[in-house]
Amino acid sequence: MAPTLSAQLCLGLCLCWGIGAQAGPLPQPSLKAEPDLVIPQEKPVTLWCEGPPGAELYRLWKGGGYEDMEKSADGREAQFLISHMTAKTAGRYQCDCMKQSWWSEDSEPLELRVTGLHDPPSLSALPSSQVASGQEVMLQCQTQVWYSRFALHRDGEEITYGVAQHNGRGAQANFSIPAVTPAHGGTYRCYSFHSYNPYEWSAPSDPLVLRVTGCPLEIPFCTFNSCLRFCSYPNFTKEETRQRSGDLARVTQP
C-alpha cells in the first residue's frame, strides 16, 4: 500500500522527531477494521486507529514494518484505507500514535484475511442440517485438493479453526457439536487455507443453515424480579443448562 501524500510529507518530520520522541505514558490505541476482518479480494477495507484526545499523528505497521502515516483529522483517530484487498495487503497490523512528542505503545494486533484466492470447500452436516435439541451433529468441511487448515464461521462471525485430515481425495475437518442447543442454530460457512499462508483464504463454502428443533423440557431460571425459560438437557445442572442455552454456544473439533 503506497504511502499517501500526507504520509510522505510527515515522514521527514517524523524522522527528525525520532531522536527526542520515545514511547511514553500514552494509553494504548485501539485498531479496528470496517466492514470486517475477512475481506473478499479486490474489495476495500478501512483500518481505524483510535487514540487519546489530542493525538496528533498516527502510524500503521504491518508485520513489524512501517506501512503508512496519517495526521488525525479530529484529534482522536485516523483512518487508513486499503482500496483493494489482495494477498499482499492481508496480514497482521498494529498502530501507534503521538502526542506532544510522546509515542504510545503499539495497539493490540489485528489480523486481516483475504478470501477468494482458492476454490471454495464444501460444508455439510451429519446426520442432517435439521437436528433435535440435545442431539449431536457434525459439521464437515472438505476440499478436493490438500489444505492444512479450515476456518468455521457462523452468521458472519468466526467460531473456530480445524486441522485438516487426509480423506483420500483431498482434505477435510470435522467440527463436532456434542449436544445441540437453540444457540447453535444459524448460517455456517467454512474456508480452507495453508498454514504457511494463514491470511490467504479460499472463497467461502456455500451457506449451510443449521436448524435446531424441539426442546426436551423447559425449566424456569429466575432472578429477583424476572424468570426466563430454558431447555433442560439430561445430566446437566441448572447452571450448565442456562449456559448451553445462552449465546456462548461452542463448536469443537474432535
- Does residue 5 contact residue 69 with C-beta atoms inside 8 Å? no
Examine the pLDDT at 7 and tell me if it is beyond 60.
no
> Could you read off the pLDDT of 214-236 as tens digits, one per residue?
865 555 666 666 666 555 555 45
Tell me the longest C-alpha to C-alpha distance in the chain: 70
Q: Which of 230, 137, 213, 209 is nearest to 178 (CA)?
A: 137
Query: What is the full DSSP assignment across 114-181?
Result: EE-SS---EEEEES-SEEETT--EEEEEEESS--SEEEEEETTEEEEEEE-EE-SSSEEEEEEESS--
Q: How far is CA 139 from CA 173, 184, 190, in A?
A: 8, 12, 10
Nearest to 184 by CA among 162, 163, 216, 157: 157
**pTM summary value:** 0.75
Report the pLDDT value the prediction gives residue 126, as an integer from 0 to 100: 97
157-168 pLDDT tens trace: 999 999 999 888
pLDDT over threshold 90, residue 6: no
Q: Round the CA-based radius of gyration of the chain to a whole number and report it.
A: 23
Query: Edge-to-edge strands of the sheet including 157-163?
Result: 130-132, 208-213, 186-193, 149-154, 157-163
Rounded to 5°, the CA angle 190-121-148 comes to: 80
- The single-letter code of the amino acid at 78 is A
Q: Which triple of cell numbers denotes residue 236?
A: 446437566
- pLDDT at residue number 123: 98
